[in-house]
Amino acid sequence: MRRIGILTSGGDCPGLNATIRGAAKACYQLFGTENVEIVGISDGYAGLINNMCKDMKPSDFSGILTRGGTIFGTKRTPYKKMRVIEEDNVDKVKAMKETYKKQRLDCLLTLGGNGTHKTANLLSQEGLNVIGLPKTIDNDIYGTSVTFGFHTAVDIATDVIDRLHSTADSHDRIMVVEIMGNKAGWLTLYSGIAGGADMIVIPEIPFDTDKLAEACVKRAQSGKAFSILAVAEGAYDKEEAKLKKKERARLRAEKGEVTASNRIAKEIEAKTGMETRVCVPGHMLRGGSPSAYDRVLATKFGVRAAQLIKEGKFGYTVAMVKSVVTENKLEDIAGKPKLVPMDDQLVITARDIGISFGD
Ligand code: F6P
């Protein structure tokens, strides 16, 4: 008998359930239903720390392919706190290892983003059999060209930008749409291009509001009185780029700013006299059913995780490399976010059709 624990950690996204389903179905298929027991762990690593576990039945994994969110629930338990003993006096790493033992687990599947992978690597180095699965709408996990959840979010964000066109056009307005992505601009870049945004602002390319305002004026002079700016929530300007992250956050807090979108809108309006509006789709980008692409990707990733269990290959995370599903060592990818390179083909593509990055 094999006992396999599964948890989902960090922010949710479409495709978590499809991945869980793919892994579970493949485990039942590869080992025989009678030879495998799957243990669902609630609320990510918090559930592993507190032994919040439930033995699942094969039927629990049926009918969840299209369901958004995660059947196990999720929580953010920051990696940097994992080795810190807090007020509750709990040694988190020790507690996670105890739950693993108590539940008689043979391995643990951890579905999550960068933080989740760092803790997965820690647990692997502590001797647990861990396999990661790359989830995030941000697509910022090192070593994989794609994460599940990303393309669904691209579809939703593209739809938002599409819909803003007609209202921006009718009112001759500048629309600033804020897209999720704190460190990485992949989601803004993809949806900006797919939705035909006129300007794309991402954390990897600090912006200058003068340049953005100039681009709006240039468009107006060429006969288009409206413009759409796709702005990543983590974007910052060239002056902020000179500051340390903490200092940047302090100055923003002083101004009552969390993101730059409202400032960009206000400054463009002041510099050009054009009316501006801000639209923040926020968590809508993470909600609902996964796209067909993500359902297929999630199933392939889940199945690869089950194959890795069969091969006894632990300490890895599933990945897509050159269009082939494969795996990377957790120790090689943990703690290395994948940011948009300046010379990324998509950045060049955008520039070559006249999209301004405001730099
Ligand atoms: O990591 C995914 C993400 O969607 C980021 O783009 C965003 O900054 C963050 O999660 C917000 O998450 P939450 O509101 O759940 O803390």
**142, amino acid identity:** Y
- Helical (H) or strand (E) element with 209: helix 209-221
CB-ligand 1 contact for 113 (6 Å cutoff): yes
Whether 261 is covered by a domain: the verdict is: yes
Alpha carbon of 181 to ligand 1 centroid (Å): 7
Whether 320 is covered by a domain: the verdict is: yes
Contact 118, 336 (CB under 8 A): no
Domain count, the chain: 2
- CA pair distance 92, 258, nearest whole angstrom: 31
* % pLDDT > 70, the chain: 100
Domain boundary among 286, 318, 344: 286
Whether 265 is covered by a domain: the verdict is: yes
204 shares a domain with 141: no
Whether 282 is covered by a domain: the verdict is: yes
Tokens 């990696």 belong to 79
175 shares a domain with 123: no
Alpha carbon 286 to chain centroid distance?
9
Residues facing residue 3 across a β-bridge: 37
Whether 354 is covered by a domain: the verdict is: no
CB-ligand 1 contact for 138 (6 Å cutoff): yes
41 shares a domain with 130: yes
Alpha carbon of 11 to ligand 1 centroid (Å): 6
Whether 346 is covered by a domain: the verdict is: no
76 shares a domain with 52: yes
CB-ligand 1 contact for 182 (6 Å cutoff): yes
Which CB contacts under 8 angstroms, 24+ apart, belong to 347-354? 347/189, 347/205, 349/193, 350/189, 350/192, 350/193, 350/200
- Helical (H) or strand (E) element with 4: strand 2-8
Contact 199, 212 (CB under 8 A): yes
- CA pair distance 66, 295, nearest whole angstrom: 8
Q: Find the domain containing 259 and state its range.
A: 154-286
Whether 353 is covered by a domain: the verdict is: no
Which residue among 79, 135, 154, 180 has the greatest number of ligand 1 atoms within 8 angstroms of its CB, and so is best to mutate?
180
Which residue among 76, 138, 178 has the greatest number of ligand 1 atoms within 8 angstroms of its CB, and so is best to mutate?
138
Is the pTM above the cut of 0.85?
yes
Contact 164, 141 (CB under 8 A): no
CB-ligand 1 contact for 135 (6 Å cutoff): no
Three state DSSP letters for 270-309: HHHCCCEEEECCHHHHHCCCCCHHHHHHHHHHHHHHHHHH
CB-ligand 1 contact for 136 (6 Å cutoff): yes
Contact 349, 201 (CB under 8 A): no
241 shares a domain with 315: no
16 shares a domain with 107: yes
282 shares a domain with 294: no
CB-ligand 1 contact for 201 (6 Å cutoff): no
301 shares a domain with 255: no
Look up the CATH number of the domain holding residue 260. Answer: 3.40.50.460
296 shares a domain with 278: no
| pLDDT digit string, tens, across residues 98-108 | 999 999 999 99
The SS3 of residue 25 is helix
DSSP 141: B
277 shares a domain with 198: yes
- CA pair distance 20, 16, nearest whole angstrom: 6
163 shares a domain with 266: yes
Alpha carbon of 13 to ligand 1 centroid (Å): 10
27 shares a domain with 106: yes
Look up the CATH number of the domain holding residue 110. Answer: 3.40.50.450
Alpha carbon of 233 to ligand 1 centroid (Å): 10
Point out the residues that are catalytic.
138
Locate the ligand 1 atom nearest the alpha carbon of residue 286 and give its number.
Answer: 4
pLDDT number for residue 159 = 98
**41, amino acid identity:** I
Alpha carbon of 283 to ligand 1 centroid (Å): 8
Residues of the chain with pLDDT under 50: none
Tell how strand 227-232 and strand 199-201 pair up. Answer: parallel
With both helix axes pointing from N to C terminus, report the angle between 150-171 and 186-194 in degrees, rounded to the nearest 10.
50
Whether 312 is covered by a domain: the verdict is: yes
Nearest Cα to Cα of residue 188 among 231, 145, 227? 231
